[in-house]
Structure 1
Amino acid sequence: MPTTDLFEPIASESVVDLVTGQIESMIIQGVLREGMRLPSERELSERFDVSRPKVRDALKRLEGQGLVNVRHGDGTFVAKLTGEAMSPALIDLYARHGQAFYDYLEYRREQEAFAARAAALRATRSDKDAIEALIGELDQAHRDHDDDASARADLKFHGAVVNASHNAMLIHMMTSIYDLTRRGLFYNRKYLRAVDGTGDMLLDQHHRIAEAVLAGDPDRAEAAAREHLTFVETSFREGTARERREDFAQKRRIASSLP
């Protein structure tokens, strides 16, 4: 029977160990993520079916390990567990050196190709439902010509595929990478859509990734993810080159009018 709750009742002598272990496991697997608020001691006691003092001891242990922050009167929150993918100084440095952007895309291409392959092999029904729902969001945003909604759904879609890989390390690392994208660093989807023209090709590529994952076809899923990021890179290179040509064309026109 599939679980209907995040937490499972515990029947064992090592109650504190098992409560701690369940929460640790959910943090490792990316179910509980940094900043998320845990249920209250009373709720956890009921869900684990153990006494509140045992829950309190488990939370104290987790706090001592640096995994949660207990804010009295406010609740218990998953601690910040991953550093920034890049420091502000490094981001500024990369912004001044365009090649870094293509390194970022290369990194994403390899990681997301692996994620799509793993997702095709490992995705659960819940994973597939999430991917299908996000394809629906992408379709709706496309019909509405809503660039902001498209950008949000785009990132959530890629995150859902990564989640479906069930690789805990990949989930945590890509969450940090996607945060850079969410903050508008390296990747401007509105610019990419302008290069694409209508955004139809981007939407079609997301559909192909989703269809391959849902069909459980790892080769097709990997190829679709790789093709998508290659398209993104090629589009940016072509768009940047076109802008550069236009800039020099305007400069030549201005120069030719000088006395």
Structure 2
Amino acid sequence: MSNPVRKVKLSDTVASELLTLIRNGTYARGSRLPAERELSSRFNISRTSLRDAFRQLELLGYVEIRQGDGTYVRAPDSDTLSRPFQGLLAGSQQAALDLLEFRRMLEPEVAALAAQRARPEHAEAFQRALERQREAAARGERLSREDLTFHQLVAQTAGNTVTLQVLGTLRALLSDLRTSALSGHFPAITLAQHERIAQAILTNDPAAARSAMLEHLNAVVESSDLKSPHALD
């Protein structure tokens, strides 16, 4: 017996067509989409269905609906891309540990790639990032924000756009964990580990960069509160 054919909603079809027009540049980032009346006529669709299509694109991060002004084209950001996964992490200690495990699989290789591609001009950015960490550590502050900046710098040095997007999404997911479970109470240790990673990258030593990053991420898990039975209560 054949499976019933799923009827495709008009709003789904229009959302797909609009997405194609956005991606090919017909509707550029920052531009306002044509008025609802014009688009509903063009696609032969009701305004209600058109608004459903807009909402789908809004969830994907491709448009911003401004009440009383119109619908504007935008590019998806890390916060938007992380939304489907946020519910997975809510209250789930194992999911949080799985997320950190995924990070340990990915970021050491990103550090190794950064070491292959680092140039002398990258040194200044790493020096500035480390100096900000030293200043924060001297004030006795957590290095949450500085840690995010450092790991983003490593990804930028690696120069892979897909990796940048994936790690941006990962950082957005980790933002809540940083306040609820990732203790970050050892800024001096974090700083020392970041210095080793930076040195390996700037001396173009992929093996050392990979090893230093893995050591750092292992320490993040070991010093976290995620192993506590009530870590995410």
Fold equivalence (TM over 0.5): yes
Query: In structure 2, do the counterparts of structure 1 residues 221 and 190 end up closer, same or farther at CA, with 3 Å as the change threshold?
Result: same
Q: Distance in 2 between matches of 1:188 and 1:211?
A: 29
Alignment equivalent of 1:87, drawn from 83, 86, 91: 83
Q: Distance in 2 between matches of 1:211 and 1:87?
A: 35
The aligned runs of 1:32-71 (5 Å cut-off) are: 64-65=25-26, 68-70=29-31
Alignment equivalent of 2:147, drawn from 144, 154, 168: 154
* 1:164 matches 2:160: no
Q: Distance in 2 between matches of 1:157 and 1:105?
A: 17
Query: In structure 2, do the counterparts of structure 1 residues 102 and 62 end up closer, same or farther at CA, with 3 Å as the change threshold?
Result: closer
Checking the alignment, whether the CA contact within 8 Å between 1:63 and 1:69 is kept in structure 2 is no
Q: Distance in 2 between matches of 1:175 and 1:61?
A: 22
Runs of 5+ unmatched residues, structure 2: 1-20, 34-71
| Aligned-CA RMSD value | 3.1
Checking the alignment, whether the CA contact within 8 Å between 1:63 and 1:70 is kept in structure 2 is no
Look up the SS of the partner of 1:145 in the other structure: coil
In structure 2, the residue matched to 1:109 is 104
Q: Which stretches of structure 1, 4 residues or more, deviate above 6 A after TM superposition?
A: 60-63
Checking the alignment, whether the CA contact within 8 Å between 1:120 and 1:214 is kept in structure 2 is yes
Look up the SS of the partner of 2:159 in the other structure: coil
In structure 2, the residue matched to 1:187 is 178
The letter for the 2-side match of 1:230 is N
Q: Distance in 2 between matches of 1:105 and 1:206?
A: 18
Q: Distance in 1 between matches of 2:120 and 2:180?
A: 30
Alignment equivalent of 1:173, drawn from 157, 166, 191: 166
Checking the alignment, whether the CA contact within 8 Å between 2:108 and 2:209 is kept in structure 1 is yes
Q: Distance in 2 between matches of 1:137 and 1:113?
A: 23
Alignment equivalent of 1:222, drawn from 194, 210, 223: 210
Deviation at 1:65, TM superposition (A): 4.5
Q: Distance in 1 between matches of 2:73 and 2:125?
A: 23
Query: In structure 2, do the counterparts of structure 1 residues 143 and 167 end up closer, same or farther at CA, with 3 Å as the change threshold?
Result: same
Deviations 1:38-91 (A, max 9, x none): xxxxxxxxxxxxxxxxxxxxxx9988355522369xxxx983135734336x42
Checking the alignment, whether the CA contact within 8 Å between 1:66 and 1:79 is kept in structure 2 is no
The letter for the 2-side match of 1:202 is T
Deviation at 1:175, TM superposition (A): 1.5
The letter for the 2-side match of 1:87 is R
Checking the alignment, whether the CA contact within 8 Å between 1:113 and 1:223 is kept in structure 2 is yes
Query: In structure 2, do the counterparts of structure 1 residues 67 and 134 end up closer, same or farther at CA, with 3 Å as the change threshold?
Result: farther
In structure 2, the residue matched to 1:120 is 115
Runs of 5+ unmatched residues, structure 1: 1-59, 245-259
Deviations 1:145-179 (A, max 9, x none): 123xx221110000000100011110121122212
Checking the alignment, whether the CA contact within 8 Å between 1:116 and 1:161 is kept in structure 2 is yes
Checking the alignment, whether the CA contact within 8 Å between 1:67 and 1:81 is kept in structure 2 is no
Query: In structure 2, do the counterparts of structure 1 residues 207 and 78 end up closer, same or farther at CA, with 3 Å as the change threshold?
Result: farther
Deviation at 1:180, TM superposition (A): 2.6
Normalising by structure 2, we get a TM-score of 0.63
In structure 2, the residue matched to 1:136 is 131
